[in-house]
A = this chain, B = another copy of it.
């Protein structure tokens, strides 16, 4: 089983996120308006940089989770003018955008979502500071919503994300990184925001703790699955599919699960190869080809996809506490969508 993406499969994946997109379409329009408004500033460089990233065609998966969870939990049923979910969805997207800006500086990335990274156009300095501005705006807008419980969830996520990023830095280029280390990194840097994005929906809807826990778990496991697939695709997709370059993690010495598994299962010669390329950072493009061969040969990529499927199943199982509905069904399809990016 490879990780290449065929055109047929792409059509199928686009279809399966469609129910979620349809359910939140109207609210997402309001989120997009608020995003543009809150990315505004008299300091010209701020909307320029923010717009570059906002326009670059991310799927807005995280704010979609907030909107769908809030809708499913009946937040807007009594008050059609309710706007808390729009504001929190915007805050979640700004937190994510700020992270991307800072990530590009930390990773020294040239590309982001198939476009030049902001730091290549405006410099590292602007990426750091505009990221700080967006994070500040995220907090300001969520304060405006007035739910201390939602503020607690989102501010905790902000800390956990930063911790995950620092942890990732600490274990970079270190082949002693364990599966547990890796899972801790992706849980923090990726899954924590998915979890918070989903969890604030039932909080807004004043739903019981059971439903809050269920949607947090759903978001967390979906986030884990999403990142596992992303890390597999880094050794299989192409820049056009991913909006980043295949082999970016390899070139940056990021120790992801495919590499951890291939190293564990490899011969002494394989282990020496991984040590040379990941720790000593001595490699050329031919080594990337060899790495991809080892990832296939050891079954490492297959097992990463298996783990992603297990996380996906856990996400879907968490929704059991909810009655069947169009929203529940769309959230289940979203899991399938994330996993079917690789096949």
Rounded to whole Å, the gap between the CB of A27 and the closest CB of chain B is: 24
The answer for the CA separation of A105 and B133 in the assembled complex, in Å, is 16
A319 vs chain B, min Cβ distance (A): 28
A140 touching B156 by the CB < 8 A rule? yes
Contact residues in B for A167 (Cβ distance below 8 Å):
43
CA–CA, A151 and B128, complex, Å: 23
Q: A143 and B151: CB pair below 8 A?
A: yes
Task: Answer whether A169 and B45 are a contact pair too, CB < 8 Å, given A155-B136, A159-B140, A161-B136.
Answer: yes
A-to-B contact residues, CB < 8 Å: 41-46, 102, 105-106, 124-126, 128-130, 132-133, 135-137, 139-140, 143-144, 146, 148, 151-152, 155-156, 158-163, 165-167, 169-170
The answer to whether residues A143 and B152 also contact, given A45-B166, A124-B105, A170-B43 and a CB cut-off of 8 A, is yes
Nearest-Cβ distance from residue A192 to partner chain B, whole angstroms: 11
Given A106-B129, A129-B169, A169-B125, A143 contacting B136 (CB threshold 8 A): no
Complex CA–CA separation, A41 to B126 (angstroms): 28
Copies of this chain, how many?
Answer: 2
Q: Is the interface of A mostly helix, strand, loop or mixed?
A: helix
Q: Which of B46, B158, B161, B169 touches A166 (beta carbons < 8 Å)?
A: B46
Residue ID in chain B nearest A151 by CB atoms = B143
Chain B residues near A105 (CB-CB < 8 A): 105, 124-125, 128
CB distance from A118 to the nearest CB of B (A): 12
Instruction: Let me know if B139 and A155 touch, CB within 8 A.
Output: yes
Shortest beta-carbon distance from A210 to chain B in Å: 24
Contact A137 B151 (CB under 8 A): no
* Residues of B close to A163: CB separation below 8 A: 41-43, 46, 133
Contact call A44/B156, Cβ cutoff below 8 A: no
**Selected contact of A158 from candidates B41, B102, B139, CB within 8 Å:** B139
- A132 CB contacts on chain B under 8 angstroms: 102, 135, 158, 161-162, 165
Assess the B148–A162 pair: CB atoms within 8 A.
no
Q: Tell me which of A45, A102, A133 has the highest count of chain B C-beta atoms within 10 A of its own C-beta.
A: A133
Known contacts A43-B167, A45-B169, A169-B129; is A136 also within 8 Å of B152 by CB?
A: no
Q: Is the CB of A106 within 8 A of B135?
A: no
A165 / chain B contacts, CB cutoff of 8 Å = 129, 132
Q: Which residues from chain B contact A158 at a C-beta distance below 8 Å?
A: 132, 135-136, 139-140
Give the CA-CA distance A105 to B159 in the complex, in Å: 20
Which residues of B have CB within 8 Å of A143?
148, 151-152, 155
Sort A-B residue pairs by CB-CB distance and give the 4 closest, nearest first.
A136-B159, A136-B158, A133-B162, A132-B162
